Structure 1
Amino acid sequence: MYRSIITGILFLLPFFGFSQADWISYVKKEKKGIMAVSVDLELDLNKPKLHNVLIVGTRVKGCYKNGFPNEEGIKYSDVFSDSVAFRLNKITKNRKVGMISYQCLIFDVFYVKDTLGIRKEMDTLLSKNYPHYPKYVVISKDKKWDYYYQKLFPPVYTEDFIYDQEILYKLVSAGDDLSTERNVKHWTYFKNEKRRNSFVSKIKKLDFKVDSLNIKKDLAYPYEVQIYRKEKIYPRSIESVTALLNFMVKADNGLYDGWGAEMIVKE
C-alpha cells in the first residue's frame, strides 16, 4: 500500500485545539527534551506591517512527562490563549503567528503594532487569572521578523519532512518523548525481484532486518519488502534514516513508502 501523497497546504495538525488553513505543527529536539511548534505559514508571503514581537507564556496545568500538554493541559492552554488574544485585541492591532510548547510551558507569539501599555495589561491578566504559575511577557522590536523565521518557521517543508513530522507529532502529543529505542519499520517497493534482492543485500549491511517479503500484483511496484531496525526517532535522526533509505531505494529503481513505529510513553 503506497502512502497517500500529501498535496495542497502542507499538513494540518491542530495544536492546542487551534486549526487554520495555513498553520502547521512540528517538533524538534532541544537540550531538555522535545519542543512543539505551530506556525502560520501564510505570513511568509503576506506579512502585515507589524514590527514588534510579543511573546506571552505560562506553565500549563496538566502535561505528560515529555512536557507536552495532556488533555487537561490542552483545555487549559485554549483558555489561556483565548484570554490573551481577547485582551490584546482591545489594546492594539495584532496578528498571532505561532505557538510553542516546551517542558510544560506554553507561549503564544504575536506581532503587534503598538507596545504602549501591553506589558502592564499582560502582567495584570496573568497575575489575576494565573496567580500560582510563572508568567512570561517578552516584547521586542523586530522589523525583519527575525523571531518568526529563526524560531518558528520550519527548517524545510518538503513532502518527506511533512510525512515524518506527522508521525512524530502524533507520538509526542500522546506523551512519547521519542528517546526510547524501538523497532522502526519501513515500507519499500520494487518493479522486480532482482531489484528487491539487490536492495535487501545492501540494507542488511546497515543492520536492517527483513520483516516480510510480499508480491502485490495490482501495484506498479509489486515487489514489497518491509524492513526494520531498532533506533531512537528524534526528528533529525529519523530524517537522516529516511533520506538514506530514499536514496538507496531509488538506486534500485524502487519506491520508498514511509515508516512507522510503536508508541512508548514513560509512566
Structure 2
Amino acid sequence: MSKNWDLYFDYINEKVASIVLDMDVWKEIDTEKYRQALTVRLILQQPNADGFPSSNESNIISEIEVALKELVSHKEIINVGRITTDGFRDIIFYSLPEKQKDLVEAANQIITSTGYEFEVFSMDDEKTWAFYFDILYPNQYQQQHMGNRSVIDSLKESGDCLETPRQVDHWLYFEHAPMRESFVEAIKKEGFSIEENSLQVNEDGPYPVTIHRVDSVDYFSMNDVTDLLVTFAEEYNGVYDGWGTLVMN
C-alpha cells in the first residue's frame, strides 16, 4: 500500500460519488498475485441528501473501516480505496483468489455487532485489475480536478478567501509547433490571452505556451476552466500542465 492516496468526485448511476483511492498501489505490489477484487458494502443508516453519511455517522463508518482494514492487513488482503454514493460505502480490496472467505469472516467479526447491514462480494475482472483502472482510477479530467483542489487548498492556507476573480495563468505543451499555433488561435476565441514570450522556438519540442484569463478560483469554476483546456489541449495533441495565480487576501 502506497502513501499516495487522493480523493475525487464522480457520478455513478447518476448519483454523486466520492472516491478515495490509493493511486500507486499497483506499482508496489504483484498485481498478478493480488488479482481478486473484493468489496465490503456498508449500508448507511443516516445518509444525507447527497447519499453520503451524516456528520455523526461519518465517524462511526470510519471506525468500522479502519478496524476492518487493520484486521485483514496481515491476511494478504490489501485495501485500495473506497466509494461512497447513494447511501452506501464500498470498501475495496485486492487479494489472492482464495482469500474472500477470510474477508467475509473479518467483516462478520467487525461489522455484525455494530448493527449495520453489509455484504461482501467479488468483481470478476476481464483482465487483471480492470476494475481498479477502468472504474476506480480517475480520468485525465478528474486527475486535474484533484490538482485544482491542491492549488485551491494552498491558496486558502495562505489566507485567500477565493471570492475575487483574478488573472489565472495556465501552462501547456505541444508536440509540434503548427499544432501550438492552431491551439493559440482557437483558445483566443475563448477569451484567453497569450504570453508572447512563452512561445519559445525549439526544433526538438516540446513547444510551450502560457495563457491567462481572469476567472474565479473556486473549486467548481476552476474545474470548468481546466476541463475546457484539457479538451483543447487533447484536440491539438498537447498536454495541459496546470495553473497558478497570486494570493489575494
TM range (shorter): 0.5 to 0.7
Q: Does 1:57 align with 2:41?
A: yes
Mean CA deviation greater in 116-125 or 143-152: 116-125
1:168 and 1:46, CA in 2 relative to 1: closer, same or farther beyond 3 A?
same
- In angstroms, what is the RMSD of aligned CA positions? 4.5
Q: Does 1:31 align with 2:8?
A: no
Q: Specify the SS of the correspondent of 1:50.
A: coil
Quick one: distance in 2 between partners of 1:167 and 1:104? 30
Partner of 1:187: 167
Q: Specify the SS of the correspondent of 1:68.
A: coil
Which residue of 65, 70, 79 maps to 2:63? 79
Partner of 1:153: 137
Deviations 1:82-131 (A, max 9, x none): 232243246x2121111111123111111122326336415633662243
Q: Which amino acid letter does the alignment assign opposite residue 149 of structure 1? A: F
1:184 and 1:246, CA in 2 relative to 1: closer, same or farther beyond 3 A?
farther
Q: Specify the SS of the correspondent of 2:140.
A: coil
Q: Specify the SS of the correspondent of 1:55.
A: strand
Q: Which amino acid letter does the alignment assign opposite residue 80 of structure 1? A: I
Contact 1:62 / 1:71 at 8 angstroms: preserved in 2?
A: no
Q: Which amino acid letter does the alignment assign opposite residue 108 of structure 2? A: T
Quick one: distance in 2 between partners of 1:235 and 1:30? 22
Quick one: distance in 2 between partners of 1:127 and 1:78? 12
Contact 1:122 / 1:137 at 8 angstroms: preserved in 2?
A: no
Quick one: distance in 2 between partners of 1:39 and 1:156? 15
Contact 1:29 / 1:235 at 8 angstroms: preserved in 2?
A: no
Partner of 1:226: 214
Q: Specify the SS of the correspondent of 1:117.
A: helix
Q: Which amino acid letter does the alignment assign opposite residue 228 of structure 2? A: V
Deviations 1:28-51 (A, max 9, x none): 123332111111122232223212
1:235 and 1:50, CA in 2 relative to 1: closer, same or farther beyond 3 A?
farther
1:243 and 1:137, CA in 2 relative to 1: closer, same or farther beyond 3 A?
same
Quick one: distance in 1 between partners of 2:130 and 2:22? 15
Greater helix share, structure number: 2
Unaligned regions of 5+ residues in structure 1, if any?
A: 1-18, 170-182, 191-197, 205-223, 248-254, 259-267
Partner of 1:42: 24
Quick one: distance in 2 between partners of 1:246 and 1:240? 10
Contact 1:24 / 1:38 at 8 angstroms: preserved in 2?
A: yes
> TM-score when scaled to structure 1?
0.54
Quick one: distance in 2 between partners of 1:239 and 1:31? 24
Instruction: State, as a whole percentage, how many aligned pairs show the same letter.
Output: 13
> TM-score when scaled to structure 2?
0.57
Partner of 1:108: 91
Contact 2:37 / 2:124 at 8 angstroms: preserved in 1?
A: yes
How many aligned residue pairs are there?
Answer: 191
1:50 and 1:20, CA in 2 relative to 1: closer, same or farther beyond 3 A?
closer
Q: Specify the SS of the correspondent of 2:25.
A: helix
Deviation of 1:24 after TM superposition, in Å, equals 1.3
Contact 2:141 / 2:230 at 8 angstroms: preserved in 1?
A: no
Quick one: distance in 1 between partners of 2:221 and 2:168? 22
Quick one: distance in 2 between partners of 1:189 and 1:127? 49
Contact 2:79 / 2:94 at 8 angstroms: preserved in 1?
A: yes
Unaligned regions of 5+ residues in structure 2, if any?
A: 154-162, 171-184, 192-211, 235-241
Q: Specify the SS of the correspondent of 1:37.
A: strand
